[in-house]
Amino acid sequence: MAVTDLDDGGFGAALRAWRRARGLSQLDLALAADASPRHLSFLETNRAKPSRDMVLALADAMVLPRAACNTLLNAAGFAALFPVTPLDAAALGPLRAILDEMMRRHAPNPALLCDRHWTVLDATPSARMLLAGLAGDSGEMNVVRMLAKSPLAPQGIANYPEVLQEMTGRIRLEALEAGADPVFTEHLRALEEAMRRHPSTGATQRRPLAPIILRSPGGDLSFLSTIAHFGTSEDVTVRDLRLELLFPADDATRAAMAALA
């Protein structure tokens, strides 16, 4: 069961699933939320109904994502607290303007705007070109699935095992934050299967900067990545955005990107 799914157990089942996903005992969670273990046990068995403040205290103690907090509130019979605003809504117009400006200023270098599961929502022209070289004619727009499942990825990425390792580590961390999210579970399964097919060289120490090296007709293109999150908003959509900016890691790549300008 996905932690964010509700079953016949209602609030108690959802709370118990999240507590277990976080690796907490009832005593651990009760202490963190300033509740008694007995009361927490009653909540998990639906023998007691939580107050809205108690739901929020439990969600805060478990460091739940905004969407999961909304789900837990709904399960307890309360309205969601955090808005979920479509990215094209007028209310997010100022944010979209900022995103557009960041991506425009980053051009001609590649930039990707993705949702929490790494599905591409927008991209600069150079990023679209690079993605097309990895996805081929599949139409795949999810970065993780593209990396793990596309037959073109091992050919198009010169340091493919190293990139797989880096992405797998990143997705493991995000999966821990998200709980038993079925999309992240599938992402990890696909990445781990790809790592079995393409094991690393067995280096005992990783280098301090791990670029992604893409093969191109004009030679290898080497990029370093930085990922921006928008944590000052309480909106679920905004909190889930990832803006990945790729910077040339060597002079040859810098010259190739400048030629695109």
Average pLDDT, the chain: 91
CATH of domain 10-75: 1.10.260.40
CB neighbourhood size of 256 (10 A): 19
Q: Quick one: which of 250, 258, 86, 94 has its CA closest to 158?
A: 250
pTM for the predicted model, two decimal places: 0.85
Whole-number Å distance between alpha carbons of 261 and 256: 9
pLDDT by residue (tens digit) across 99-144? 999 999 999 999 999 999 999 999 999 999 999 999 988 999 999 9
Residue 115 phi/psi, 5° resolution?
-85, -175
Helix (H, G, I), strand (E, B) or coil at 237: helix
The band of 176, judged by pLDDT with boundaries at 50, 70 and 90, is confident
Cis before 211? omega within 30:
no
Whole-number Å distance between alpha carbons of 215 and 72: 46
- Percent of the chain exceeding pLDDT 90 equals 83
Provide the CA 141 distance to its chain's centre, in angstroms.
14
pLDDT by residue (tens digit) across 225-251? 999 998 778 899 999 999 999 999 999
Whole-number Å distance between alpha carbons of 20 and 212: 36
DSSP label at 199? -
Half-sphere exposure of residue 94, counting CA atoms within 13 Å on the CB side?
Answer: 3
Domain boundaries, the chain: 10-75, 90-158+206-260
73 and 226 in contact (C-beta within 8 Å)? Answer: no
Name beta bridge partners: 223: 212, 248
Rounded average pLDDT over 139-152: 96
Whole-number Å distance between alpha carbons of 158 and 160: 6
pLDDT by residue (tens digit) across 208-217? 778 999 999 8
User: Which listed CATH number (3.40.720.10, 1.10.730.10, 3.30.450.180, 3.30.70.520) goes with 90-158+206-260?
Assistant: 3.30.450.180
pLDDT at 7: 46
